[in-house]
Amino acid sequence: MIIGLDVGGTHTDAVLLSDKGIEKKVKVATTHEDLFNTVLTGFETLLEQIDPKEIDRIVISTTLTTNAIVQKKMAPAGMIVSAGPGIDPEHFRTGDHYYCVSGSINHRGREKAPVNEIQIEDIAKEMKKKGVEYVGVVSKFCVRNPSHEILIKRILNKYFKKIFLGHHVSGNLNFPRRIATTHLNAAVFSLHKTFFEAVKQSLEEHGLKIPIQILKADGGTMTLEASIQFPGQTVLSGPAASIMGAIPHAPEKHDAIVLDIGGTTTDIAILVDKTPLLEPVGIRRGQYKSLIRSLRTDSEGIGGDSKISIKDNDIIIGPDRLGPAMAFGGPVPTPTDALVVLDIMDAGDKELAWKGIKEIADQLGLPEKDTANKIFEKCCKIILKKTFELIDKINSKPVYTVHDFLEGYKISPRELLLLGGPAKYFAQKIESLYHIKTTAVPESSVANAIGAALARTTCEVTLNADTEQGIVTAHEEDFAEPISKTYSKDDVIETAYTLLKEKALNCGASSDSLNEIEVVEFQEFNIVRNFSPRGKIYRTKIQLKPGLIKGFEKVLQ
């Protein structure tokens, strides 16, 4: 059996799956001030009268790191950055505890200026006095030679609890994004570690000692232990769960829109022939442009519990959520109250819902039912407007999916797939308004949790080889080996495959998923000096493709 748990802005959904289908599903209110107990309540309710020995896999999707970034509740993190000649790293400052230091490596990985160890010691003592516990270290060309980062870490070890190095972040050369990503990992580490260790301890007390999987922003999973090294990868875990939950129900050979309509937000994504779009460089949230691989999503501040108000005789919906709908004891009218008044939703206190909608109706000078219908239509129109704005934005640039770069491709959706608690109500209304096929996916209220539970483990490896220097490296994996002048393209791919398989198994991948490996990038350059060939430079990136695990087809039916 598998447990899938998705912590949303309004509700936390949990499902218990077997090869026979959905055994049990629960939905509990999300308490942002106490997410730990929210998750525990979900687990305990789900596991009543279930033998823990029957559980084989647990996957959690969470908004924890995303909320920390949005609410600016991250721990103070230090950054030590070295660049050498060229652009001033001061332009990429991440906060108060940011230090530009001497020492540099060039683009071929050769040292041009050494690290000033006394300078690093002085900075470490200064940050320690200011209460900094977590630090990131980035050297501009660390992916070609991480020796400076490793030396600086060695000096810092005695001062700080955890140090994140830039060359572990990604094999891509992007100095500004590498700084932001390394800082992000350091800043959310404490929160991430505390939360998941508490969850793990609680599950062990319930007899569950199997590895916990965390859903990443790219729609794949990794083990809790792996996530401790890269906590930033859990940003946008929630929207990724929505996409994975919709994939089985998407049309083949056509484009589809995925709308996850929650209580607080609506997450929007696009599928091309059942394949998610990808952020090719890395996600951006607020000031942070990162190297965190992610599925392409957009989140809008409108949902079933969004606050409704009137401005200039016009209905305003969201982006604030002040609590549940009035039908469920909330303080202000919401779209959910409109659904109750329209007799579309048979839940909650109808008298309270009518009271809330009457407040809006009186301001508009309309009957309550007409007002409720206007609210419902306005909500659908806002969601669709935001959706087609996203499509226009995507179509203005090259389109990337998790598998391919689609040159010249334009998104043209023929179907909408809806997830979330109110999905079935919105599906009928949207289809009647826009005459486009609109479907609430099966088990739409917990489809996110199902998507998280069935997501496959993903990871990637970037390998660089220089036959002139006689070395092959994958610095993200702390790998380096000597090679001969005859080292070839085939040798590069073979080495990369070996590293990726080892990494995938350590991240929790099953052995039967290792045939889903693909080469996503390969570059080959000749080294010529004085018109004479001296060797070759190879660079490749390979990945374990995102997807769904096998053996649970009945769940998807």
Task: Looking at the structure, tell me whether residues 264 and 397 fall in a common domain.
Answer: yes
* 3-state percent helix, strand, coil for the chain, nearest multiple of 5: 40, 30, 35
Instruction: Check: CB of residue 432 under 8 Å from CB of residue 195.
Output: no
Mark which of 139, 160, 190 sits at the end of a domain: 190
Cα–Cα distance for residue pair 394/502, rounded to 1 Å: 35
User: What's residue 554's pLDDT?
Assistant: 59
pLDDT at residue 404 greater than cutoff 80:
no
Task: Looking at the structure, tell me whether residues 256 and 390 fall in a common domain.
Answer: yes
Residue at 197 is within a domain: no
Mark which of 190, 206, 238 sits at the end of a domain: 190
Task: Looking at the structure, tell me whether residues 435 and 519 fall in a common domain.
Answer: no
Domain span holding position 513: 459-544
Going by the DSSP 8-state scheme, the letter that residue 415 receives in this structure is E
Instruction: Check: CB of residue 8 under 8 Å from CB of residue 67.
Output: no
Residue at 114 is within a domain: yes
Mark which of 443, 467, 484 sits at the end of a domain: 443
Q: What is the mean pLDDT of residues 51-80?
A: 80
Angle (CA) 180-181-185 rounded to 5° is 120
Task: Looking at the structure, tell me whether residues 158 and 254 fall in a common domain.
Answer: no
Task: Looking at the structure, tell me whether residues 418 and 470 fall in a common domain.
Answer: no
User: What's residue 424's pLDDT?
Assistant: 87
pLDDT at residue 4 greater than cutoff 80:
yes
Beta-sheet strand order (sheet of 98-101): 98-101, 77-82, 134-139, 162-165
Give the model's confidence band at 406: pLDDT under 50 very low, under 70 low, under 90 confident, else very high: low
Structurally, the chain folds into a number of domains equal to 3
Determine which of 33-42, 118-127, 225-234 has the lowest per-residue pLDDT on average.
33-42
Q: What is the mean pLDDT of residues 48-72?
A: 78
pLDDT at residue 377 greater than cutoff 90:
yes
Write out pLDDT tens, residues 477-535: 889 999 999 999 999 999 999 999 988 888 778 777 777 788 878 888 888 777 788 88
Q: Give percent above pLDDT 90 in the chain.
A: 33
Considering just the CA atoms, what is the radius of gyration of the chain in Å? 25
More confident residue, 400 or 265: 265
Residue at 54 is within a domain: no
Q: Give percent above pLDDT 70 in the chain.
A: 94
Task: Looking at the structure, tell me whether residues 183 and 271 fall in a common domain.
Answer: no
Residue 279: which H helix or E strand, with range? strand 278-279
Write out pLDDT tens, residues 240-294: 888 998 988 888 888 899 999 888 888 899 998 888 888 877 777 666 688 888 8
Helix (H) and strand (E) counts for the chain? 14, 31
User: What's residue 54's pLDDT?
Assistant: 85
What pTM was estimated for this model as a whole? 0.81
**Angle of helix 237-246 relative to helix 447-454, nearest 10 degrees?**
90
**Tokens matching residue 492:** 């590069």
Task: Looking at the structure, tell me whether residues 174 and 108 fall in a common domain.
Answer: yes
Residue at 241 is within a domain: no
Cα–Cα distance for residue pair 381/141, rounded to 1 Å: 48
pLDDT at residue 418 greater than cutoff 60:
yes
User: What's residue 511's pLDDT?
Assistant: 76
pLDDT at residue 378 greater than cutoff 90:
yes
Give the model's confidence band at 38: pLDDT under 50 very low, under 70 low, under 90 confident, else very high: confident
Q: What is the CATH number of the domain that holds 115?
A: 3.40.50
Task: Looking at the structure, tell me whether residues 476 and 359 fall in a common domain.
Answer: no
The residues pairing with 99 across neighbouring beta strands, listed in sequence order, are: 80
Task: Looking at the structure, tell me whether residues 144 and 260 fall in a common domain.
Answer: no
Determine which of 112-126, 227-241, 291-305, 402-416 has the lowest per-residue pLDDT on average.
402-416
Residue at 495 is within a domain: yes
Residue at 454 is within a domain: no
Residue at 208 is within a domain: no
- The 10 Å Cβ neighbour count of residue 109 is 19
Give the model's confidence band at 411: pLDDT under 50 very low, under 70 low, under 90 confident, else very high: confident
Going by the DSSP 8-state scheme, the letter that residue 328 receives in this structure is G
Write out pLDDT tens, residues 448-468: 899 999 888 888 888 989 998
Task: Looking at the structure, tell me whether residues 163 and 284 fall in a common domain.
Answer: no
Residue at 201 is within a domain: no
Cα–Cα distance for residue pair 233/69, rounded to 1 Å: 13
Task: Looking at the structure, tell me whether residues 423 and 493 fall in a common domain.
Answer: no
Task: Looking at the structure, tell me whether residues 403 and 468 fall in a common domain.
Answer: no
Q: What is the mean pLDDT of residues 27-37?
A: 78
Q: What is the CATH number of the domain that holds 384?
A: 3.30.420.40
101 SS3 class:
strand
